[in-house]
Amino acid sequence: MAKLQEMTQEQIGQVLQAAVERQVPVTVTLKRDNAWTSCHTRLLAIQDPRVLLGQLQGHDGHESPKIAPAERVGLSFKLKHYKHVFTVTAVGSERPEGAPDDSPDAISVCWPNSMHRLQRRAFIRAEVPHGRVVRASFWLGGCDQEPTQSETDHPVWSGRITNVSAGGFQVHSDSASDMWDPEVGETVGVRLAFEAGSETVYADAQFRRVDRVDGQALLGFQFVGLGQDRKGRQSLQYISAKVAEYHRQIETVGGRRR
């Protein structure tokens, strides 16, 4: 079973130092007014007790957000066999030690109190095996804004998930075939219903893409914010376990069990 591991402070220091040395890409997530914004940066330096981030780069040509002091910031990056997720508090901006006078200030954040890691395999898409049914319902706004019923002004769409990972999912939807027109990056709330008797998972996600196939909409979503609180981490753990289960089933049927 894919396990979300809580790291010790010694491990956190080691992995942050390695991420700085290797200049690994970092994904930044911010929640504002019930909507998520995500962008990229890199870890520049450790100036104990703070960590310095580079300037933010927006997704899909979107403007880079500004981080205010005391704002909570979600960070994640991949290193070796794991993806690391954690939340920090922004401090402000400061010059990295030894940087040229004309270099831009870095974004300064507090040292993380905790960090969790998950095997990167959990973020590899798993096709939902034959005979297994996973359904998704989704609506505009976050998962805590689910309408009590689908209405014209507040529609709820649904469909059957074709593949899923700890990073997101793809769903075939008849109901969204003609009515779906949000912008890429817009926040939606999702409800994932795995097989009968299994747990129902709520999460926030960002819409990433849509294709029209035989009268159906094939929609792609990216989970956001799952590593930023206890409830989200529980959902991440559950989704990861299902992904691992699907990988094992497919490999067994295909004669590739390792």
Is the confidence at residue 2, as pLDDT, over 60? no
Is residue 225 within 8 A of residue 246, CB to CB? The reply is no
Average pLDDT in the 185-194 region?
Answer: 94
In 3D space, the residue among 107, 108, 113, 116 whose CA is nearest the CA of residue 77 turns out to be 116
In 3D space, the residue among 42, 157, 164, 61 whose CA is nearest the CA of residue 107 turns out to be 42
Classify domain 5-123 by CATH architecture: Roll (2.30)
Ordered alpha helix ranges (H), 29-149 = none
Write the CATH number of the domain with boundaries 126-253: 2.40.10.220
Burial of 254 (0-12, 13-18, 19+ CB in 10 A): exposed
| Side chain identity, residue 102 | D
Domain ranges for the chain: 5-123, 126-253
Average pLDDT in the 151-178 region?
Answer: 87
Place of tokens 């940066």: 41
pLDDT confidence of residue 74: 96
Report the range of poorest mean pLDDT among 30-34, 88-92, 160-164, 180-184: 180-184
Is residue 213 within 8 A of residue 170, CB to CB? The reply is no
| pLDDT tens sequence across 15-71 | 999 999 999 999 999 998 878 988 999 999 999 899 999 999 987 666 788 899 999
| pLDDT tens sequence across 197-215 | 778 999 999 999 988 777 7
| pLDDT tens sequence across 35-44 | 898 899 999 9
| pLDDT tens sequence across 139-149 | 999 898 888 87
Q: Rounded to an integer, what distance in angstroms lies between the CA atom of residue 241 and that of residue 152?
A: 36
Is the confidence at residue 182, as pLDDT, over 90? no
DSSP letter string, 116-175 = EEEEGGGGS-EEPPTT---EEEEEES-GGG--SS--SSS--EEEEEEEEETTEEEEEEST
**DSSP code for 252:** H
Residues in contact with 87: Cβ distance below 8 Å, sequence separation at least 6, in sequence order: 72, 73, 74, 75, 112, 227, 228, 229
pLDDT confidence of residue 123: 95
